[in-house]
Chain A
Amino acid sequence: GQSLEQPSEVTAVEGAIVQINCTYQTSGFYGLSWYQQHDGGAPTFLSYNALDGLEETGRFSSFLSRSDSYGYLLLQELQMKDSASYFCALAGAAGNKLTFGGGTRVLVKP
Chain B
Amino acid sequence: DGGITQSPKYLFRKEGQNVTLSCEQNLNHDAMYWYRQDPGQGLRLIYYSQIVNDFQKGDIAEGYSVSREKKESFPLTVTSAQKNPTAFYLCASSDRGPSYEQYFGPGTRLTVT
Interface residues of A (CB under 8 A from B): 8, 30-31, 33, 41-45, 48, 50, 87, 89, 91-92, 95-103, 105
Contact = CB atoms under 8 A, between A and B. Distances in A.
B43 A87 contact: yes
Q: Would you call the interface of chain A mostly helix, strand, loop, or mixed?
A: strand
Contacts, number: 63
Interface of B: 31, 33, 35, 40-45, 48, 50, 56, 58, 90, 94, 96-107
Nearest to A99: B45
B71 to A, nearest CB: 15
Contact of B48 (A33, A42, A43, A97): A97
Nearest to B56: A95
A84 to B, nearest CB: 13
Interface centre among B31, B44, B100 (most CB of A within 10 A): B100
Contacts of A48: 100-101
Contacts of B50: 96
Contact of B102 (A45, A50, A95, A102): A45
A95 B100 CA distance: 12
A61 B43 CA distance: 22
Nearest to A50: B100
14 contacts: A8-B40, A43-B90, A43-B102, A44-B104, A45-B102, A50-B100, A87-B42, A91-B98, A96-B31, A96-B97, A97-B45, A97-B99, A98-B45, A99-B45
A98 B102 contact: yes
A34 B96 CA distance: 19
